[in-house]
Structure 1
Amino acid sequence: MFKAKQKLFIIVPLLSLLVSGCGAAKSDEGAASNAGEKSNEVVTIKLSNWYAEKMDNWDVVIAEFEKQHPNIKVEFASAEDNNSNEFYKKLDLAVAGGDDLDIIMFSNMTYLSQRAELGMIEPLDDFLAKDGINFADEYTADTKIDGKVYGLPGKSSQGLVIINENHLKEAGLELPKDWTWDQYMEYAKAMTKTDGGKTRYGTYFHSWIQYGYLVQNFGQSANSNLTTDDGLKANIDNPYMRKSFELRLQGEAEGSATPYSEVVSQKLNYRPQYFNQDTSMLVTGSFLIPETGGTDTIPASFKTVFAPLPKLNAEDPISANVSGDVLSVYSKSKHKEEAYTFIRWFSTEGIVLQGKNIPSWKKADLNDVVDRIIAGSKNPEMIDKASLLYVLENTKSTTTATAVPYHAELEKVLLEEFDKMMLSNKDIESTIQNTQKKIQKIIDSKS
């Protein structure tokens, strides 16, 4: 399945793969297969995921699907804790225990590819061909591995910046429509404010190591991972990684970003940091858009405006890498056709109906999607629709190469070296060279 150089890395027991983490648009003709409706037999399929059924509107989605497909019932199987990392552990245990599974959701392609290599995931090419579907014409995200489609993309999560409008105006700043990372840090410095011994930081970078190499990870379309796209070389010694490190150290030196030591020691989370107004600005993904309008647990008390992802160079195009959930069919499912029917329907009509995320489906009406997301929030007036649509319409969505299945091992190495730089004053150059050497050693051991 994978290229020869990448093929031997996963000859391990299944349980060792416990990785760490975190008006309706109408589908086109033939969007949903008629599979599973050839007889009056009612088939029940299991949808395994980590979401909350009611809060994330899965109850609405499933009810509509079952209405349109009366011979298919959907069992929603979730811990409902919104913790995808724990989900993967439970998933691997369920597979090892021989549990019946049908639809498996993945938070990104890296976790899917790990299990596709083990033969857990059913390729969908034959189903798509039967329905006359050209994948590239339908979806922005690319979910192919070595030319085969192993899942259909649900939400499309692309990088963008959310900003507290009050803080922006207070600092006398214009909402940026096209900016660089250097300008981003200037904005962060301008919005930082200390009052009564308490500091409100201009920006917050979360503890996830993806924020350690954010310039490369969020916006670089080619070679955005910790290996080159062919999986053969370490990809640390480059301008995008250097810029990422420089930004993080700049935020520390200027006091414009929440100190990394506080982020890790206090186990801070980006949601309360932003919504409690302890920070003014976040680099995040479009998955967070609904929450900027408030939820039952955290109502929105201020208006959020949106800016595109910053660029390394002023002349670069506005672009952002796209990731997001992928829905796959378990290779040992007893109801593969019915499972495919659901994921095809959900990845088109269903996700629009859900009203929670920007879909990867190209034929969705973006204005309608945004209206649904805003209307479904607790405080819809707190989401600035104009700036949100500007970002979504003017950002080029790019799909990067799927990371090698041992990517988590590489991120662990990077995190160790990153911590030394941020907490022990190790310089950028030695951090890059040490990480490059260690990751290359791991790559060579897998070949």
Structure 2
Amino acid sequence: MLKKKWIQAIVVSVLVALATSACSGAGGNSAAEETGSNGSSDGAVTIKLHTWYPKKADNWDLVIEEFEKKHPEIKVEFNSAEDNNSNEYYKKLDLAAASGDDLDVIMFSNMAFLSQRAELGLLEPVDTYIEKEGFSLADEYSSDTRIKDVTYGLPGKLSTPMVFINESRLQEAGLELPKEWTWDQYMEYAKAMTTTANGKTQYGTYFHNWIQFGYFIQNMGQSTTGANLTTDDGLKANIDTPAIRKSLEVRLQGEREGSATPYSEIVSQKLNYRPQYFNQDTSMITMASFLVPEAGGTEQVPATFKTVFAPLPTMNAGDPLTGNVSGDVFGIYSKSKHKEAAYTFIRWFTTEGIVLQGKNFPSWKKADLNEVVDNIIAGTKTPEKIDKESLMYVLENTKQATPAVAVPYHAELEKVFLEEFDKMMLSGVDIDTTIRNTQEKVQKIIDSKQ
């Protein structure tokens, strides 16, 4: 999580870098003008793609090869630490920008991280490219990547929230796979699937240590509005809500009943959701569709059981199945010398390219969902461990919604929320006090930003 002081350091260093590059005359160039030190001997332009994903494991070599066949006038240089760690990636990205390095295509894991850098002027609006091409963002993509009606990037991967369940554990508990359910029923399932043998407990569910799992019912999809810690206009704290109260109640219920991995263990042992689920220390997790390929096994973690899928639970019986979608966003560095070529790449990748990659669900609405699912499942080590029927049901029946982009200082608000959440989970502070204190502290920060 970004810390306030670190953000302030970014502001200073990045603005210095931008000012320096501005003085050098770097700016938007037409395709014909895009030559220079990044050009190859055959006249092709070379653009740099910065990401955190591993190249081979995520089929980027295949993607780049195919793109360069279609666009021989553009070469793509892949830049990644290969560690699949987006938090470390952002630190390196900001350092590169502050150092005046050449940047072209920049990836972001979600809109909150993009918003922070758009606020600093690191990103080029792409609305003129969209208008020139003549398409509507809403018609073309499921995710809305606009900030105050300005589009700073195109959406790639689409992450839809859902529940991953170990089919064997479900059957052993005598439970049916739900097609619609409430959070109360979710916790009943968690309790029924919790077992203890030889001094070891296999918990019914696991909530990861991301602070979003402190307000997950609000953040993941209880409502298409008010999903953040502020109201959508950014003017008021949005903590004292039924969805956050329910989120906290669920977390405490899991602790009280012993049906969820204890928060103290998650924090002290630095547990991670992947091994907790795939090593069968827990029977089900609420996560998003980005994890689906791993349910079929990877080189690092083989799949030893079959995963079935259920839609995100609702607050009340009969509420519509809604999921707040998120995902990767591809932006263009505001001082890139090859903006036209960078746009050509991100437009191609967020449509044809991501389908070809076969690793993720695309935000591109024109993709064939059945084909996408088949490609993803076929690309895993043990395809039979992924239940396609239940997965398709969740994807086809979840109403996808894009929540408002969080305020640029969202990390500060989450830090405050985390502090109060820890007091509740670890020190016994009651829910009413937790909500009241967090509401007041968040509002104080909002007021200081006005």
TM-score by length of 1: 0.92
1:37, distance to aligned residue in structure 2 (A):
11
CA distance in 1, matches of 2:7, 2:49: 28
Deviates most, 397-406 or 122-131: 122-131
CA distance in 1, matches of 2:181, 2:322: 11
> Given that residues 158 and 323 in structure 1 are in contact (C-alpha distance below 8 angstroms), is that contact kept between their aligned partners in structure 2?
yes
Pairing 1:27-426 to 2, within 5 Å after superposition: 41-219=43-221, 220-426=223-429
CA distance in 2, matches of 1:396, 1:36: 43
> Given that residues 321 and 399 in structure 2 are in contact (C-alpha distance below 8 angstroms), is that contact kept between their aligned partners in structure 1?
yes
Amino acid at match of 2:428: N
3-state secondary structure, aligned to 1:400 = coil
May I ask how many residue pairs the two structures share in their alignment?
424
CA distance in 1, matches of 2:32, 2:370: 33
Amino acid at match of 1:14: I
Q: Which residue of 2 aligns with 1:25?
A: none
CA distance in 2, matches of 1:213, 1:230: 19
CA distance in 1, matches of 2:368, 2:8: 44
Amino acid at match of 2:346: I
CA distance in 1, matches of 2:364, 2:32: 23
Amino acid at match of 2:133: D
Amino acid at match of 1:99: D
Q: Which residue of 1 aligns with 2:10?
A: 14
Indicate how the Cα distance of structure 1 residues 243 and 406 shifts in structure 2: closer, same or farther if over 3 A, else same.
same
Identity of aligned residues (%): 71
Indicate how the Cα distance of structure 1 residues 80 and 435 shifts in structure 2: closer, same or farther if over 3 A, else same.
same
1:12, distance to aligned residue in structure 2 (A):
4.4
1:119, distance to aligned residue in structure 2 (A):
1.1
CA distance in 2, matches of 1:162, 1:327: 28
CA distance in 1, matches of 2:159, 2:84: 16
1:14, distance to aligned residue in structure 2 (A):
2.5
CA distance in 2, matches of 1:262, 1:445: 36
> Given that residues 162 and 287 in structure 2 are in contact (C-alpha distance below 8 angstroms), is that contact kept between their aligned partners in structure 1?
yes
Amino acid at match of 1:410: L
Indicate how the Cα distance of structure 1 residues 131 and 37 shifts in structure 2: closer, same or farther if over 3 A, else same.
farther
Deviations 1:370-420 (A, max 9, x none): 000000001100000000000000000000000000000000000000000
CA distance in 1, matches of 2:148, 2:321: 28
Deviations 1:236-291 (A, max 9, x none): 10100100000000000000000000000000000000000000000001000000
Amino acid at match of 1:212: G
Indicate how the Cα distance of structure 1 residues 213 and 121 shifts in structure 2: closer, same or farther if over 3 A, else same.
same
Deviations 1:292-320 (A, max 9, x none): 00001111000000000000011210010
Deviations 1:210-249 (A, max 9, x none): 0111111111321110000000000110100100000000
CA distance in 2, matches of 1:137, 1:265: 46
3-state secondary structure, aligned to 1:320 = strand
1:41, distance to aligned residue in structure 2 (A):
2.3
Q: Which residue of 2 aligns with 1:6?
A: none
CA distance in 2, matches of 1:269, 1:373: 23
CA distance in 2, matches of 1:309, 1:110: 22
Deviations 1:164-207 (A, max 9, x none): 00000000000000010000000000000011111000000011
3-state secondary structure, aligned to 1:194 = strand
CA distance in 1, matches of 2:296, 2:214: 28
Amino acid at match of 1:102: D
Indicate how the Cα distance of structure 1 residues 17 and 157 shifts in structure 2: closer, same or farther if over 3 A, else same.
farther
Amino acid at match of 2:361: I
CA distance in 2, matches of 1:306, 1:142: 26
3-state secondary structure, aligned to 2:106 = strand
> Given that residues 105 and 333 in structure 2 are in contact (C-alpha distance below 8 angstroms), is that contact kept between their aligned partners in structure 1?
yes
Find runs of 4+ consecutive structure 1 residues off by over 2 angstroms: 9-18, 34-41
CA distance in 2, matches of 1:238, 1:335: 46
CA distance in 2, matches of 1:257, 1:221: 27
Indicate how the Cα distance of structure 1 residues 212 and 371 shifts in structure 2: closer, same or farther if over 3 A, else same.
same
Indicate how the Cα distance of structure 1 residues 12 and 201 shifts in structure 2: closer, same or farther if over 3 A, else same.
closer
TM-score by length of 2: 0.92
CA distance in 1, matches of 2:241, 2:341: 46
CA distance in 2, matches of 1:35, 1:348: 21
> Given that residues 37 and 69 in structure 1 are in contact (C-alpha distance below 8 angstroms), is that contact kept between their aligned partners in structure 2?
no
1:11, distance to aligned residue in structure 2 (A):
10
> Given that residues 141 and 363 in structure 2 are in contact (C-alpha distance below 8 angstroms), is that contact kept between their aligned partners in structure 1?
yes
3-state secondary structure, aligned to 1:116 = helix
Q: Considering only aligned residues, what root-mean-square deviation do their CA atoms show, in Å? A: 1.8
Indicate how the Cα distance of structure 1 residues 38 and 244 shifts in structure 2: closer, same or farther if over 3 A, else same.
closer
